[in-house]
Amino acid sequence: MNEVLSGNLIIIGGGEDKEGKKEILSRVCTSIDKDKDILLIATIATEYPKEAAIKYKRAFGELKVKNIRVLDINDRTESFNEENVELIKNSSLIFFTGGDQLRITSLIGGSPVYTALKQACSDGIFIVGTSAGASVMSDTMIVQGIDEESPRKCTLKMAPGLGFIKNVMIDQHFAQRGRIGRLLTGIAENPEVLGIGIDENTAIIVNKIGEIEVIGEGAVYFIDGSKITYTNVSELYGDQILSMHNVKLHILTDGNKFNLVKKSPFEEDKVSNEDSTGKNI
């Protein structure tokens, strides 16, 4: 099978603790040298970049990160700015805040900034995303769907994401917003991809060889539709309830592991302490 990933990712389901113990953000910081490395906060998804930057600069500052920069792109022309490209090249960790995932793809897609991000990911730089910043990690992302309802045919809006992780579809704020129905719809329409639903204050750490570790207080839901034997997906009667047969569901919590290549959980004493570039995770 082809390589699942092109880099190291930490994908957060949103609502991570930024004022208390900050367990997830603290784990994020372990992937860099807090005294020397640059942590770059990308506020591209939000219409309130200054407020988001202040909030995360405070949180990471309290975690003793000394070199914090902000990538603030509110106009597509800024994605062609060489200073922004250099900012990405000089950073050791890039953190995408929440907001609107379509803002990210529409503002940077196909630009020099996007090329620099893809190269950083390929080089093993840690890319982190929360909420909308989580959904945009995959090559196909959920843009809009119905929360807290049974899955319905053709009620989901999807678009290409940034493609940092392959062959998966990510949804966030998962249990809190009742999103299992819309993720099931996405998998029914794209059974070749793996659905990953991440609760708030919960994250997955993904290394280059496709091993996942779950961290945080909630759960992560892995929906495998590759063995589906029947669905009634159709453009006709799009408001009908979706029917699906032989869908596999795994629910993992803090410390559990999952292999993306095999699409199955696994048990080890611990996930490998190094990714394939030799970086600690």
Q: Where along the chain do its domains lie? A: 8-266
Catalytic (active site) residue 82: no
How far apart are the C-alpha atoms of 201 and 196, rounded to whole Å?
Answer: 15
Within the chain, how many helices (H) and strands (E) appear? 7, 17
* From 79, 131, 135, 138, the catalytic residue: 131
Q: Is the pLDDT of residue 94 over 60?
A: yes
What DSSP character marks residue 5? B
Across the range 169-196, mean pLDDT stands at 94
pTM of the model: 0.89
For residues 117 and 9, what is the distance between their CA atoms, to the nearest angstrom?
Answer: 12
- Rounded to whole angstroms, the Cα distance separating 165 from 12 reads 14
Candidate list 173, 189, 211, 213, residue with the active-site label: 173
Q: Binning pLDDT at 50, 70 and 90, where does residue 235 land?
A: low
- The highest-level CATH class for domain 8-266 is alpha beta
pLDDT of residue 155: 74
Catalytic site residue 131?
yes
Nearest one of 185, 194, 143, 187 to 166, comparing CA atoms: 194
250, 224 in Cβ contact below 8 A? yes
Task: Mark whether 111 is an active-site residue.
Answer: no
In this predicted structure, what is the pLDDT of residue 239?
73
pLDDT at 2 over 70: no
Q: Label residue 271 by pLDDT band (50, 70, 90).
A: very low
Distance, in Å, from the CA atom of 261 to the CA atom of 268, rounded to the nearest integer, reads 16
Please determine, for residue 70, whether its predicted confidence score (pLDDT) is greater than 60.
Answer: yes
192 pLDDT above the threshold of 70: yes
